[in-house]
Structure 1
């Protein structure tokens, strides 16, 4: 099944690049904050935006950045909401992998 969600496909590809290329250090904090806020604006027509899955991956793969997002941007309602999520990493990984397959994205990590 092929999904025609170009904005979502681009956002997931950008997410994959961030996970691979940005170290889990304070210097990556603003990059991830900007990505999350932009990701929340992604338009989809046939699937729900996988916000909880993306945040579960960040929490697992970039724990320092995740904790700093939660701490430093607790006054930002969007960041506050998405950083308080209990989605299981393995479930999130499977969900995103299935979505990547449907979008025609080759997994990089």
Structure 2
């Protein structure tokens, strides 16, 4: 799999995770595993949409985000991610734009 496809696949997995996972503690391991994999993705043309993804999780899965913040106390990478935030509408717009560019 090329690196270009890794980002596209990762964004598809994110949308599936957001739509299928409940907003409760039971889904926390799935989100943590996703974020670990997300941080390993590299793309030669685009930077990772970290702030966008974290903003969407914070606004759309607030319980999951709360538990991610608790886990962040012992995980520096997660701590950095949970501090990222931007306007929710702008995050969705930028993510859609990126997906379009990856087609």
Contact 2:7 2:42 in 1 (8 A): yes
Deviations 1:27-50 (A, max 9, x none): 100100110111000011001111
Greater RCO, CA 8 A, separation 6+: 1
User: What's the C-alpha RMSD, in Å, of the aligned pairs?
Assistant: 1.2
Question: What SS is found at the alignment partner of 1:40?
Answer: helix
TM-score under structure 2 length normalisation: 0.93
TM-score under structure 1 length normalisation: 0.88
Which residue in the other structure is 2:74 paired with?
A: 75
Aligned structure 1 segments of 4 or more residues deviating by more than 6 angstroms: none
Aligned: 1:103 with 2:96: no
Q: Distance in 2 between matches of 1:90 and 1:15?
A: 17
How many residue pairs match? The answer is 101
Deviations 1:72-104 (A, max 9, x none): 332100000000122111111110010111122
Q: Name whichever structure is richer in helix by fraction.
A: 2
Which residue in the other structure is 2:63 paired with?
A: 64
